[in-house]
Amino acid sequence: MELPIQYTEKMQKLLGEEYPRYLESFEESRYFGLRVNPLKLMPEVFLDQNVFSLTSVPWCNEGFYYAGDERPAKHPYYHAGLYYLQEPSAMSPGAILPIQPGERVLDVCAAPGGKSTQLGARLQGEGLLVANDISAGRAKALLKNIELFGIRNAVVMSEPPERLRERLPNFFDKILIDAPCSGEGMFRKEPDMVKSWNEEMLAFCQKEQAKILEACAEMLRPGGMMLYSTCTFAVEENEKSITDFLERHQEFSLVPIEKKYGFSAGIGELSQCARLYPHKIKGEGHFLALMQKAGNSHDALFSEEVCEKEKDILPYLEFEKEVLKTKLSGTFKIFGDSLYLLPKGMPTMKGLRALRTGWQLGTLKKGRFEPSQAFAMGLFKEEVTSVEDFPLGDDRVIRYLKGETVEADGKEGWILVCVDGFPLGWAKRQGGRLKNKYAVGWKWE
């Protein structure tokens, strides 16, 4: 790979005697990773199933390396949301930001959803995750991954951070900023990125990073923590961006990140930060800065959505009585023809561009309720009365994922289709056949 002269000069200056070893890393194979979804099963249980050749990613409890010739994206367990495919270094921000169930968490540059699914899983169904991406197109991929993981308590948005700041000051306990950057740390993984690298891009990214940091500073409550990450080595976008921010915001201070697993210290006075280099770890390049806002505060109060009247959601309640073993509790809200179960304590999002506001249960049309794909993925087999649970080797699993009608005798009506006990989607049984209700855009190809 031919690297730009300006880039090689910068890296030589940055790495010194380590630079030859860094160059050698480009001749080595990249690492492939997946992160198990603890909302559905624990990592050690998945490991015991020996589905793939896995070894642990040391900085992420749910992370594993898999062999490059394996294809976990072409496996029914992927479609059941049991894991997310993620570059191993990219697992570090979501692992290091300390998340507790019940907190309000923002992933401000969230698409395609790797870090959001990680944060959502760590919330364990409690609290609120706001996953935002300014690009509406990219936010669609984010939405699918949130739903695939079965995260019930997420809001997926597509707004500039400045707009969120206006509506949600001092709101979040934790914020993750996976900032737009020049991507130097990904050159080995994605060689085409080298072609678009230049000094103008660095300057543009630095300005964008400053704007995002400013907006997030106001959204973080006193005592809250914010993790800033990039996948670049550029000091201008890493230590310089953080130094400039800290000079403007005396109320913020760095929280030291432990240097283990091959992590390196930040440059200069920012040794509390962490740098990940491909010649020192089994992964690509990354930068991490963990900061805390001074003070302490109780949860800020915001006006919340009001629950719909029972008569307005009657078709759903009839479905729930027939299909579910237990009643769902919380705030039910209708947006358009879609019915949602909102996360507890979610503020009113009126006027903001939201793709999803909580757990989409389904649609209400002409006096009937049609359950959604997201509803199926957020359920557990044990919560549903009528289930068709196929073993992994049954050819009906792939046929169902392709959208085909499959044969299966049993009680007629709505059925939750599973593989080895894990939900895949809905079907409607009629005359010993399952009329396929799997989401069109999700079909196996």
Catalytic residues: 231
Peptide bond into 391 cis (omega under 30): no
Rounded to an integer, what distance in angstroms lies between the CA atom of residue 32 and that of residue 67? 7
Q: What's the per-residue H, E or C state across 42-111?
A: CHHHHHHCCCCCEEECCCCCCEEEECCCCCHHHCHHHHCCCEEECCHHHHHHHHHCCCCCCCEEEECCCC
Q: E strand or H helix at 219, and its extent?
A: helix 199-219
The CA-based diameter of the chain, rounded to the nearest angstrom, is: 72
Q: E strand or H helix at 247, and its extent?
A: helix 239-248
Rounded to an integer, what distance in angstroms lies between the CA atom of residue 85 and that of residue 286? 17
Question: Hey, CA dihedral for 35, 356, 216, 125, is it positive or negative?
Answer: negative
Q: Are strands 274-276 and 264-265 parallel, antiparallel or unpaired?
A: antiparallel
Task: Find out whether 215 and 161 touch, Cβ atoms under 8 Å.
Answer: yes
